[in-house]
Structure 1
Amino acid sequence: MMNVVTPADTILPAGSVLYVEEPEVAERNDAAGKLAALDCVRELVTWEYQVPGAAERFHDEHPDEPVVAVIPAMEYAVPFAARLAELYGVPGATLTAAETLRDKGRLRAVTAAAGIANPASASVASPDDVRAFAERHPGRIIIKPSNRQATIGTWIIDGPGAIDEAWTAAIAQDESMHVPDRGLPLRMLAEQFVTGPEYSVEMLVHEGRSRFANVTDKVLFDGPRPIERGHVVPADIPDPLHEALVAATARVAGAVGFRSGFLHCEWIVAADGTPYLVECAGRLPGDMIVLLMEYAWPINITSRYFDVMQGVDPGPAQAAAAAACAVWFLAVDAGVVECVDGLDDAADVPDVVRVECLVAPGDEVHELRSSWDRAAYAMSWAPTPEEAREAAELAIAKIHVKVRELP
């Protein structure tokens, strides 16, 4: 939530933001306390926005709000924000586009029909369904939820013998800090696994036209869960590949009918050079990527985004980043944190601009199950992508989280 509203505090007028959050999620995350420190926030409204008709009910209770923009602060808010924008008559993704982006299976069908490369994919409801899919598509496969975020419930399967274990692990989708107690319906997909380097395209769209595009290089942790270990902005790739990824993302926007907002579209480039769609979100990216772009590009990305959401065309951005940024994350073993060392040493690495530990002594931590389980990060800013990555990797290697095994 804070990756959107915190930078807004330097851009938007005091008392201009009405922040809407699910009641249980707001309480668990101390949303009131965090938002109270921001001048731009007028009020926290707790609202069950992830249920059918939530936007219509909100609009009925707040018909006279002088709304000029509706911005989704996290993945699960994308359809609500899009519908609310329609009701208040301000720019947005469109509800149709938002609902397509929130459903990975529907996104596959829509984009494949538009000629965009997708791996084979099918809805599955049991290990037997996964086995049937694996028989039809020999080789590595991946199972994932169609309606989750942060790599929750995603598992790479190397062979039929691993299906039962993978299914049990994948359907244990613990995201209690970010979803209400009523939870989300279990909707799983099985897909062919595409091998190749992974990238994301961050695109600002105004009335169907791209006004900014960045390509991020993504590196994953080893293991069966494809959780992101690091990001480099901009990706150090040949111009033709950069252009192909940006063009493919623009085609996704057109296929789903996306009008105005931010797209975070993930791709895997196969051995023959074809970009295969992984997924696409209709919101600002997480994982510190917004901050990476703010450092690397000499323009205020967030300000341009807010302009677009208020109906202002910011014009096309400059063609290239002026510097490079990287962020690298730390994984730890499961247990209880005893102590954290090396933060000062990490911060002293040349070109490192930010270091943060996300756990503290006494916290119970887990092996990597999703992006939420990472324990620390280091961010760097350097003249080139290679230098930025080297600095971030060196810094994160200096952070040590001592963990005691649980009895």
Structure 2
Amino acid sequence: MNDRRPPAFVLTGAFWVVCRNPRYLQELAARGLKILLVTPRGWREPALAAQADPANPAALIDEIAFVDGELNQDGSFTAGVLARAADWRARYRITGAYAVGETLVEPTGLLADALGLPGPGLRATRVCRSKPLQRWYLPEFAPAGAVLPAAERAAFDPHSVSYPAVVKPAARHSSSGVVTVDDAAALAARLGGYPAHETLLVEQKVVGQEYSVESLVQEGKVLFASVTRKTTTESHAATFVELSHSVPSAPQAVDATLLAANARLLETLAFGSGIAHAEWRVGAAGRPVLVEVAARTPGDGLLALYRLATGRPLEPEIVRLALGEPADYPEPRRWTRQVYLEHEQGELAEVRVDWPGIEPVWLGEAGVWPDPAVGAAGEPGALRAVLVLKERGSRLGPLESSEDRAVCFLIDAPSPEALDALEQRVRAAVRIEVRDVD
């Protein structure tokens, strides 16, 4: 009997992430697939408004399901996602599923497994959503430390760990709640400030450069892997908010070590098909230490950086992996960087850019990231975009998580040295105006 259900593809994650990367929608629509989106209920109003706007890429979405859950409670979204998916399974022939953001990675893995669809696999999607499980499955890459279940937090001896140490909520993302503590008294004070239900990790701080490795994997085979170099606020604060990404990392011996460690990680997790984003630290002894690993698209502007670096977008290959189609991706040919600018505290009034042909793009108002031109391998360095992530009048506070950042820019150049020089010129050309707030 012929299956008359229309073919469909399920995307999951925060609605703003879908808007930031509309090429997913365009790729799926070009294949004639119905696009079904699952997103947290808090996005209901902006998502429906965008879907109803013919000029918005979200107009390509056929159905949106809104689910309830808490970002800091492990597994809280699963029941809602599977309930909506059960309805869709009866009405559509689901041919693929993909989590565009961290929030719904695990239920998306369950959906793909039940329907026999390509995906990272149950172990990978489960472990990648749990920092304690990452320490359990990957002990060779784990920092020294302890997992504190919520019920055992009060009994924990703060003198039992080495300092400086890092405290991490187990179920959050975007560096939320991650801080450095320098002694037992500071740790004891910090532990009392987290919600009572949260599981925490307390780990010895790894002093060294931070990196990430982005990998495209198909049926367990790594098709592409590249190292990204990062900077964070830890150079002058107790937090770890990311301030820059450089794709690729400046060539050095540590890249080979990281790629080898990353390959072992993927093998241990039995990673099937999809994209993996693993964050690493390399200490003075040269040992790679895993910060965390995710079974989804890298965040911030990394997709844009890979397009600028290679000349090709990643999203079409990610869609191909999710559909079981052959995929490939070229090596970088240019050096690229995203830089987040720190700001004063107060009310965001204006962002000014003194650069020919470049005006700031206010994403807080438009929502869709621009698609800047791609340079040839030997072209001079260029400022591609200045992005404002908040709306005018937004209150700007200290950088305690990724959501607190307000302005960034994207640049690319033919060499690492040219990229560094270009960054300094752009920093001098961008001014964030902040009004005092009583």
TM-score (structure 1 length as normaliser): 0.87
Change (3 A) 1:160 1:406: farther
Question: How do residues 21-40 of structure 1 correspond to structure 2 at under 5 angstroms?
Answer: 21-27=39-45, 30-35=46-51, 36=53, 37-38=56-57, 40=60
- 1:119 aligns with 143
Deviation digits for residues 210-239 of structure 1, max 9, x if unmatched?
Answer: 11111100011231001111010000132x
Residue 175 of structure 1 corresponds to which residue in structure 2? none
Amino acid paired to 1:399: V
Residues 37-186 of structure 1: pairs in structure 2 closer than 5 A: 37-38=56-57, 40-48=60-68, 50-63=76-89, 64-112=91-139, 116-124=140-148, 129=153, 132=156, 134-167=158-191, 171=194, 185-186=197-198
Q: Tell me, yes or no, if the aligned pair for 1:105 and 1:122 is still in contact at 8 Å.
A: no
Deviations 1:7-41 (A, max 9, x none): 124422256311111222333xx122334412532
Mark the runs of 5 or more structure 1 residues left unpaired by the alignment: 173-183
CA shift for structure 1 position 130? 8.9
User: Which residue is equivalent to 2:371?
Assistant: none
* Cα-to-partner distance string for 1:307-349 (whole Å, 9 max, x where unaligned): 111012325x44x311111010012233222333336579489
| Structure 2: distance between partners of 1:3 and 1:237 | 33
Q: For residues 350 and 100 of structure 2, what CA distance do their matches in structure 1 show?
A: 32
Question: Kindly tell me: are residues 379 and 396 of structure 1, through their superposed partners in 2, closer, same or farther at Cα, counting changes over 3 Å?
Answer: same
- AA in 1 matched with 2:87: E
Deviation at 1:390, TM superposition (A): 3.4
Q: Which stretch shows the higher mean deviation, 102-111 or 292-301?
A: 292-301
CA distance, structure 1, for counterparts of residue 165 and residue 40 of structure 2: 35
- Show the counterpart of 2:344: 333
Q: Secondary structure at the match of 1:352?
A: strand
5+ unaligned residues in a row in structure 2: which ranges? 1-16, 70-75, 360-379
Residue number in structure 2 paired with 1:178: none
Please report the TM-score for the alignment, with normalisation by the length of structure 2.
Answer: 0.81
Instruction: Give percent identity, aligned residues only.
Output: 25
Gap change, CA 1:57 and 1:132, over 3 Å in 2: closer
After superposition, the Cα gap between the structure-2 partners of 1:90 and 1:185, relative to the gap in structure 1 and judged at 3 Å, is: farther
| 1:313 lines up with 2:326 in the alignment | yes
Q: Choose from 240, 262, 282 the match for 1:249.
A: 262
2:288 is the counterpart of 1:270: no
Decide whether aligned partners of structure 1 residues 208 and 350 sit closer, same or farther in structure 2, where only a CA change above 3 A counts: closer
For the residue of structure 2 that corresponds to 1:225, the secondary structure is coil
Q: Distance in 1 between matches of 2:424 and 2:158?
A: 36
Distance 1:75 1:393, change over 3 A: farther
Deviations 1:145-185 (A, max 9, x none): 1111110000011223432554466x37xxxxxxxxxxx95
Cα displacement (A) at 1:123: 2.1
**Alpha-carbon distance in 1 for matches of 2:103, 2:209:** 27
**Shift of residue 247, structure 1, vs aligned partner:** 1.9
Indicate if the aligned counterparts of 1:336 and 1:403 stay in contact, CA closer than 8 A. Answer: yes
Query: How many residue pairs are counted as aligned between the two chains?
Result: 387
Where does structure 1 differ by over 6 angstroms across 4 or more consecutive aligned residues? none
**Alignment partner, residue 209 of structure 2:** 197
- Counterpart pick for 1:206 among 208, 212, 218: 218
Q: Show CA shifts across 1:245-268 (max 9, x none).
A: 122112112222221111000110
Q: Look up the equivalent residue of 2:261 and give its one-letter code.
A: A
In structure 1, the residue matched to 2:375 is: none
Judging changes above 3 Å, is the alpha-carbon distance between structure 1 residues 131 and 357 closer, same or farther for their aligned structure 2 residues?
farther
What secondary structure, in the 3-state scheme, does the structure 1 residue paired with 2:99 have? coil
> Hey, what does 1:382 align to over in structure 2?
413
1: CA distance between counterparts of 2:255 and 2:289?
Answer: 14
Correspondence 1:395 to 2:426: yes
Distance 1:400 1:129 in 2: 44
Q: Give 3-state SS (helix, strand or coil) of 1:162's partner.
A: helix
Tell me by how many angstroms 1:208 deviates: 1.0
What secondary structure sits across from 2:229 in the alignment? strand
Contact 1:232–1:389 (Cα < 8 Å) also in 2: no
- What SS does the corresponding residue of 1:105 show, helix, strand or coil? helix
Which moved further from structure 2: 339-348 or 100-109? 339-348
Tell me by how many angstroms 1:131 deviates: 9.8
Residue 435 (structure 2) aligns with: 404
Deviation, structure 1 residue 92: 1.0
| Structure 1 partner of 2:244 | 230
Deviation at 1:43, TM superposition (A): 2.3
8 Å CA contact 2:250, 2:416 repeated in 1: yes
Aligned equivalents of 1:17, 1:277: Cα separation in 2: 35
